[in-house]
Amino acid sequence: MTAIIDLSLVIPLYNEEDNISPLYDELSVALNELSLDYEVIVIDDGSDDASLERLRAIHDRDARWQIISFRRNFGQTAGISAGFELARGKVVMTIDADLQNDPRDIRKVLDKMAEGYDIVSGWRTDRKEPFFSRRLPSMTANRLISRITGVSLHDYGCTLKAYDRAVAKNVKLYGELHRFIPALASEMGVRVAEIPVNDRPRRHGSSKYGISRTFKVFLDLIAVSFFLSYFNRPLYVFGGFGMVIGTIGTALLLYLTFVKLVLLQNIGNRPLLMLGVLLVVLGVQIVTTGLVADMVMRTYHESQGKPIYHIREQLITGDTKKSPESIG
Ligand code: UDP
Ligand code: MG
């Protein structure tokens, strides 16, 4: 196993040729002031400008800068995920390559982490982006995500965030889910804090996202909330719902049986009969779906050896270390 260092900075980067040199300078100043053992992992997400050449040059002169270069553009989430995989830091921090995050905030975030949090999220209290296309959708999204996932943050979209190693190593990312890491990680049981950070306008290059991101974020939110609430035991949800429907249907049919057998009335022309039959069939279907989903989950957990728990710390004679990532 590789030696663990103090800090890994993970930077997803796509076509940011003019930002690389100022990024290196600003980060180096901020990081060297901290006098800790750090590495910077830049993931070049299939850039087709001069980004990779410039990163190569930096790697040659500063061995702390690790570069991963994707074969094509896989997206920011994939970049972050690759960085997490490689990271050797006790704390893993993500930051944008375009210098919209302020490297001087790194110290604040680290100090907060040292108070014992698993995740510290930056919160851009004074955002420099346009209101209608950026801040308004983002505000709405933050409210919704906070409400639905139960992890209340003002700024899910801020890339400047720090994660405890165990969180970074265990969170499974795909699609565009990097914005949801604090919510996804809540499944593991995490202490989350947020602190105000500086937001700066982009100086070089252009944003890689348009308004279409808003829709993706909302769709992701539906997926994440489903994942969070129903993931482990889908049967509890489907089963409960199916049983309620099935019970109502059964009650209706029992009532109709009573009408037919005791009151001796004809029930063939009653809409209630249709409804009763429909509800019973639906109820059975939904419970069965729950069972199938449960089986899928079981396969998932067992085939991946995915633990159903996450340990924060162990106080065991001969091993009092903080949980290594192999434990989860
Ligand atoms: N990025 C990336 N892959 C992509 C899109 C963006 O690695 O497909 C990087 C980009 O270089 C930047 C960060 O992700 O470092 C945030 O992107 P951007 O600044 O365009 O987003 P915005 O700040 O406009 O929300
Ligand atoms: Mg940006």
Q: Number of folded domains in the chain?
A: 2
Span 47-62, average pLDDT: 97
> What whole-number distance in Å separates Cα of residue 125 and Cα of residue 131?
13
Non-local (6+) Cβ contacts of 116 within 8 A are 191
Q: Whose atoms come closest to the Cα of 12: which ligand?
A: 1
Span 225-249, average pLDDT: 87
pLDDT of residue 321: 53
Lowest mean pLDDT among 146-160, 248-262, 301-315: 301-315
Residues 182 and 247 in one domain: no
What is the CATH classification number for the domain harbouring 66? 3.90.550.10
Residue 221 lies in a domain: yes
Global confidence as pTM? 0.84
Residues 252 and 126 in one domain: no
Residue 293 lies in a domain: yes
| Residue 264 falls in which region: left (phi positive, over 0), alpha (psi -120 to 50) or beta | left
- Residue finishing a domain among 173, 197, 229: 229
pLDDT of residue 320: 52
Mutate to test the pocket of ligand 1, among 9, 13, 14 (most ligand atoms within 8 A of CB): 14
Span 106-134, average pLDDT: 95
| Residue 15 falls in which region: left (phi positive, over 0), alpha (psi -120 to 50) or beta | left
Ligand 2 centroid–CA 134 distance in Å is 11
Q: Whose CA is nearest to atom 8 of ligand 1?
A: 75
* Domain span at 300: 234-304
Span 226-249, average pLDDT: 88
Whether residue 173 is predicted with pLDDT greater than 60 in this model: the reply is: yes
What number does the ligand 1 atom closest to the CA of 74 have? 8
- On average, the pLDDT of the chain sits at 92
Q: Which residue has the tokens 């396969």?
A: 299
Q: Whose CA is nearest to atom 24 of ligand 1?
A: 207
User: In which band, very low, low, confident or very high, does the pLDDT at 324 lie, cut at 50, 70 and 90?
Assistant: low
What percentage of residues in the chain have a pLDDT greater than 90? 74
pLDDT digits (tens, 9 = 90+) for 64-81: 999 999 999 999 999 999
> What whole-number distance in Å separates Cα of residue 277 and Cα of residue 274?
5
> What whole-number distance in Å separates Cα of residue 96 and Cα of residue 27?
11
Residue 324 lies in a domain: no
Span 150-170, average pLDDT: 96
pLDDT digits (tens, 9 = 90+) for 83-101: 999 999 999 999 999 999 9
pLDDT of residue 27: 98
Ligand 1 centroid–CA 191 distance in Å is 27
Residues 104 and 209 in one domain: yes
Amino acid identity of residue 212, one-letter, is: S
Residues 154 and 95 in one domain: yes
Whether residue 328 is predicted with pLDDT greater than 50 in this model: the reply is: no
pLDDT digits (tens, 9 = 90+) for 281-314: 999 999 999 999 889 888 877 887 777 778 878 8
pLDDT of residue 229: 77
pLDDT of residue 213: 86
Residue 313 lies in a domain: no
pLDDT of residue 107: 97
* Residue 78, token pair as written in the block: 């994939």
CB-CB contact of 106 with 113 (8 Å): no
Q: Whose atoms come closest to the Cα of 135: which ligand?
A: 1
Residue 93 lies in a domain: yes
Q: Whose CA is nearest to atom 23 of ligand 1?
A: 207
- Residue finishing a domain among 186, 207, 229: 229
Cα dist from 139 to 20, 131, 160, whole Å: 30, 10, 17
Q: Whose atoms come closest to the Cα of 68: which ligand?
A: 1
Ligand 2 centroid–CA 220 distance in Å is 20
pLDDT of residue 311: 80
What percentage of residues in the chain have a pLDDT greater than 70? 97
* Residue 244, token pair as written in the block: 């309620």
pLDDT digits (tens, 9 = 90+) for 204-218: 999 999 888 888 888
Residues 203 and 245 in one domain: no
Around ligand 1, the residues with Cβ closer than 6 Å are 12-14, 16, 45, 73, 75-76, 79, 96-98, 100, 207-209
**Segments of 14-105 assigned E as strands:** 38-44, 65-69, 89-94
Whether residue 319 is predicted with pLDDT greater than 70 in this model: the reply is: no
Ligand 1 centroid–CA 185 distance in Å is 22
* Residue 275, token pair as written in the block: 């409804």
